Amino acid sequence: MSNPTLIGSGISGANPASFSYTVSTAGNDLLIILGAYRGSTFSLSSITDSAGAVSTDSALAATLGAGFYFGVGIYRVKGASAGTHTITPTWSGNPSAWRIYLAECTPMAIDAGAPALVIANSASFASNSITPVTNGDLIFGIATVDASVTYSWSNGFTQNQANQTLAVATLTQATAASITAAGTISIALPNAATIIAYKTASTAPTVTSVNSGSSIPEGSTNVSTVGTGFASGMTATITQTGGVSVPQTLTYISATSGTFNLSMEPGTGDQLAFTDATYVTDLTVTTTGGTSAGYAVTLATPSSQIFETLASINPTSAYRITATPDLVIGDQLEASGNSAGTAASRQSAACVSGGSPTMWWSLCGLAVHW
């Protein structure tokens, strides 16, 4: 899984009614950071996007310190559409000054932060410490000051955008460890700082090919499965009409491939039928990011075997194959032989829900035609 990446960013001028950014790639996140201050308290009533829904990563709350109220809010438009997004904050008691920072990032999820604002009255600033748990996090350091200053960052952060009241710096942390967003400003003034770490968002896998598009005969091994978003520990399941579900042991090879040995008759519980008009068959793959949509596959008999799904049952048991438990409509009969039904050396009955019969009998000398 790749690290989250900052694609582009922008920062507004003083006290904007709204601020716009053009997202280049649909599905990326649009990160929104507000920085504000005032001599008396204030609050953010709402924040909206002209082209998507805004979610809250850390709500802005005015915090008193060094004689001022500071506020930093962190929000996102997850899976943003490509094109222009106009962000509009609505205030209750306007701050004296505020700025809006917008950044397009690959899909992210919070890994650590944001802790409470740390307010100081000096030429330096420092957030509380956070401890990410995932290697490769994209970390944002945020500082806000009540005047125009120059920011200098430490602890490996590189300033991304700054405009007087608000400065944002970033760091990609190769190995997860405790970290603080800190630095200095050109004039000793009241200031506030915070920090937040993002990991790559987990997304559901997709399946694009199974067995190179060919049918999968019973007994097949190392069946190739191709897709996206595969991960170690993933699982697979084959489902069929009527709620039949049989897990498959999927071996992870890479983020785009894996293999499995087809399991049709696991011994207990449901077993799979051969695919036909009655039994539509789908394969799904599951990771921590979710479960893929079903991918249609065809389960086939081994070479030289034939099968038939029972559409009706002769009510006179003397004139048909019987079993314990007895056969019902929807069960499949499988045999080694030819399509004319004139040669058969192996027969079995598959009760698709609940396992195979424990005993069954066929009429000697009876040619079964399918």
Whole-angstrom CA distances from 302 to 198, 217, 272, 299, 335 are: 50, 5, 14, 10, 10
Same domain, yes or no, for 214 and 163?
A: no
**Rg over CA atoms, the chain:** 31
pLDDT at residue 18 greater than cutoff 80: yes
Q: Count CA atoms closer than 13 A to 132's CA, side-chain side.
A: 25
Confidence grade of residue 353 (pLDDT, cut at 50, 70, 90): very low
Q: Which residues of 113-132 are buried (b: 16+ CB within 10 A; e: fewer)?
A: bbbebbbbeeeebbbeebeb
Whole-Å CA distances, 145 to 65, 155, 217, 342: 12, 20, 68, 90
CA atoms of 28 and 152, how far apart (whole Å): 29
Are 111 and 194 in a shared domain? yes
* Of 370, 369, 347, residue with least CA distance to 360: 347
What CATH number is given to the structural domain containing 237? Answer: 2.60.40.10
Continuous segment of H or E residues that includes residue 31: strand 29-38
Q: In what order do the strands lie in the sheet with 250-254?
A: 206-210, 223-228, 257-260, 250-254
Task: Give the pLDDT confidence score for residue 49 in this predicted structure.
Answer: 98
pLDDT value of position 343: 55
Report percent pLDDT > 90 for the chain.
69
d(CA 265, CA 189): 73
Distance CA 47, CA 77 (A): 11
How many structural domains are present in the chain?
3
CA distances (Å), origin 40, targets 74, 110, 197: 21, 31, 30
Both 292 and 255 in one domain: the answer is yes
Residues 53 and 176 in one domain: yes
Which of 280, 300, 320 terminates a domain? The answer is: 300
Are 258 and 330 within one domain?
no
- For range 338-344, the mean pLDDT: 54
Whether 63 is covered by a domain: the verdict is: yes
Same domain, 195 and 210: no
pLDDT at 1: 55
Residues 102 and 248 in one domain: no
CB atoms closer than 10 angstroms to residue 260: 24
Q: Is 136 exposed, middle or buried (0-12, 13-18, 19+ CB in 10 A)?
A: middle
Q: What is the DSSP letter of 130?
A: B
Taking all residues of the chain, what is their mean pLDDT, rounded to a whole number?
88
Beta strands in 275-363 (DSSP E): 281-287, 290-291, 295-296, 299-300, 305-309, 322-324, 332-337, 344-350, 359-361
Range of the domain at 153: 6-200
Q: Is residue 369 part of a domain?
A: no
Structural domain includes residue 370? no
Taking only the tens place, the pLDDT of each residue in 61-118 is 999 999 999 999 999 999 999 999 999 999 998 899 999 999 999 999 999 988 899 9
Statement to judge: residues 310 and 215 lie in one domain: no
Q: What pLDDT digit, counting tens, does each position of 255-272 carry? A: 899 999 999 988 777 889
Q: Angle at Cα 200 formed by Cα 103 and Cα 252, nearest 5°?
A: 150
Report pLDDT for 365: 29
User: Is position 367 within any domain?
Assistant: no
**Confidence at 368, pLDDT banded by 50, 70, 90:** very low
* 176 and 231, same domain (yes or no): no
Is residue 327 pLDDT above 90, yes or no?
no
Last residue of a domain, one of 200, 232, 267: 200
Task: Give the residue among 184, 196, 204 at the shortest CA–CA distance from 122.
Answer: 184
- Does 355 score more than 70 pLDDT? no
* pLDDT classification of 168: cutoffs 50, 70, 90: very high
Judge whether 1 lies within some domain: no
In this structure, are 56 and 169 located in the same domain? Answer: yes
Listed residues 200, 223, 242: the one ending a domain: 200
